[in-house]
Structure 1
Amino acid sequence: MSADTVRNQEATYEASARNRLKRRIVELKKGATTAHVRSEIGGGSIVTASITNEAVDELGLAVGGDA
């Protein structure tokens, strides 16, 4: 059995840019134009996203908040 087969059997959904995952923001660092947002998605898994500073402000993102 290949690693891809095992991975696919364990997944309950496929992640894409259009999926929405409930998560809590654990770190947010703004740069000149882009922010790096680290979020916990459960079970200790961390996802890091790079988004514009404008998007951070529009979405009202903050450490400790839900995203």
Structure 2
Amino acid sequence: MFDEACRKALFLEFAKIMQEGYAYLPGGICMSTMGRRISYEQAIAWKVLAGDETTMHCLAFSFVNWWFV
């Protein structure tokens, strides 16, 4: 989903996401589920907990000021 630079940024912030529950990521390029490239100014990643509120279910992302390129 993310380009190489964004994957590296996510990898560096992964421990913070796991510890604090969220992290802000720098802008970059990613791929939509339709296969189109998207540019964005900033992303916010956070962990989503399972129903028991102790197990991580997945990571969620919100992209700020995004557009198709």
| More strand as a share of residues | 2
| TM-based fold match above 0.5 | no
**Shorter-chain TM-score tier:** under 0.3
Greater Rg, structure 1 or structure 2? 1
> TM-score of the superposition, structure 1-length normalised?
0.27
> TM-score of the superposition, structure 2-length normalised?
0.27
